[in-house]
Amino acid sequence: MSLYFSFQAACFVAIQDTVKHVAVLKKAAISLHYLSNGHQKWVENLPDSDAVQYQAVYSGGEEEVYVLGVVPNSHLTIIAYSLEDGEITKQSSVEAPWLSSVESSCVVVGQGVLMCVDPATLALYTLPMQAEETPQFSQTLLQVLYLSTTATTLSFSDDARYV
């Protein structure tokens, strides 16, 4: 017997440094499952899933799991769900006219900082997802960091070693 699961993204969810759950993102829903037996703890439909392309899920070990979606060349949507019951605890929309895909342009680093690169403007954008106030992207030009970009990589310039 073989099983086939279709999902956009998944992430382990740790509470107090112990992984107990896995969050699974599908096209129009997010669910939380017990890692020990695979049983579903909760499932919630994603808002505006006809317009927003949900592409990533993140958990930083707190009491929430974050879902990231994009309306290409318009804005990024961030939704925080309670690990306890799946209720939306926070929802925000961040202008990002340069962003077309979270999957190919962004990565979460540190404690919930979304880092994205835009090859067209040669800029690095950072966004603290867990900010109390409405989050906004900060832009840093790659040239300032002695970085250059190609279609699939980010590399240091030879000049960076002299800094």
Domain spans, the chain = 9-145
| Per-residue confidence (pLDDT) for residue 42, from 0 to 100 | 96
The per-residue pLDDT for 119 is: 85
CATH fold of 9-145, please?
Lipocalin (2.40.128)
pTM above 0.85?
Answer: no
* Spans of the chain below 50 pLDDT: 1-4, 151-152, 156-163
pLDDT at 149: 56
Q: Write down the pLDDT at residue 73.
A: 92
Residue closest to 57 by CA, chosen among 108, 128, 9, 112? 9
Specify the DSSP element, H or E, that contains 99: none
User: Between β-strands 29-34 and 138-141, what pairing exists: parallel, antiparallel or unpaired?
Assistant: unpaired
The predicted pLDDT at position 89 comes to 93
